[in-house]
Amino acid sequence: MSDILEKIKTYKLEEVAARKAAVPLSEVEARANDAPPVRGFAENLQRAAREGYGLIAEIKKASPSKGLIRSDFDPPALAKAYEDGGATCLSVLTDGPSFQGDDSYLTAARSAVSLPALRKDFMYDIYQVAEARALHADCILIILASVSDAQAQELEEAAFAWGMDVLLEVHNAEELERASHLKSPLMGINNRNLKTFETTLDTTRTLSKQVPVDRTIVCESGLNTPEELADMARYGARCFLIGESLMRQEDVAGATRELLANPARGVR
Ligand SMILES: O=P(O)(O)OC[C@@H](O)[C@@H](O)c1c[nH]c2ccccc12
């Protein structure tokens, strides 16, 4: 119970129980049915990665390991800056306690642009999947380190039933093997260990070799420079999930543009 992911899971399950008591699933589903059409998250990433890089640009105010990352925090303005800079998709943290996120940030950021958006949160229950769509999300995250195989499958099926895509997130060989039994083409390799928050690009260097060739690698966390992206491309990663290093820039659009300017040739 001591690791960070376990602590998050504990409060998240309580949060979901409270939300279920306050707003019944049927009402969340009605809102999800009224949501604007889904934007193709996986499709956009895969298209972008054919010519250059696919970038999921993350809107993140704070994190458990770094504290406050950006005080001047305006999700719609940040979404526009990312879009202007050439990002392919958005990721928006909706977790409050650890990331100072909010559900409203997701809806507001997405509506400011034409990019598809990922609800970045810790998902355990199909109630949260319906919520994601009700907030206009186009994709959800499934963290293999935090769910059973049966839960992962249930969450994935629920997302697909809503027409959403799924980003599977793994951090070691065992999780990667489990994820390869799921259907989603998006295989996120998180360079950050969510139990300890240690981050190393060696995670992608090691695990990329074991990713089935029909999956798209999304290299996640700890990325700062075009050189690092080019290095990761040598291991078959052409899609990237980047938050902190872009959130710390004054000129977010310019920094995004620079990061994507000279994509390396890949191996996959
Ligand atoms: O800010 P970074 O180091 O660029 O990382 C972004 C993203 O990968 C990270 O926020 C993340 C990856 N998986 C998560 C799961 C939950 C919360 C956050 C995350």
In angstroms, the Cα distances linking 42 to 65, 111, 154 are 29, 19, 19
Per-residue pLDDT of the chain (268 residues; tens, 9 = 90+): 469 999 999 999 999 999 999 999 999 999 999 999 999 999 999 999 998 999 999 999 999 999 999 999 999 999 999 999 999 999 999 999 999 999 999 999 999 999 999 999 999 999 999 999 999 999 999 999 999 999 999 999 999 999 999 999 999 999 999 999 999 999 999 999 999 999 999 999 999 999 999 999 999 999 999 999 999 999 999 999 999 999 999 999 999 999 999 999 766 6
ipTM for this prediction? 0.98
266 C-beta closer than 6 A to ligand 1: no
Residue 69 CA: nearest ligand 1 atom is 1
0.95 cut: is pTM over it? yes
What whole-number distance in Å separates Cα of residue 231 and Cα of residue 128? 36
Query: What type of residue is 197?
Result: F
Provide the residue ranges of all domains of the chain, joining segments of one domain with +. Answer: 4-260
220 C-beta closer than 6 A to ligand 1: yes
pLDDT of residue 1: 42
Classify domain 4-260 at the CATH class level.
alpha beta
Six-digit token string for 64: 């458990």
pLDDT of residue 237: 97
Maximum CA extent, the chain? 51
Six-digit token string for 247: 């959130």
Mutate to test the pocket of ligand 1, among 194, 220, 224, 228 (most ligand atoms within 8 A of CB): 220
What whole-number distance in Å separates Cα of residue 152 and Cα of residue 168? 9
pLDDT of residue 265: 77
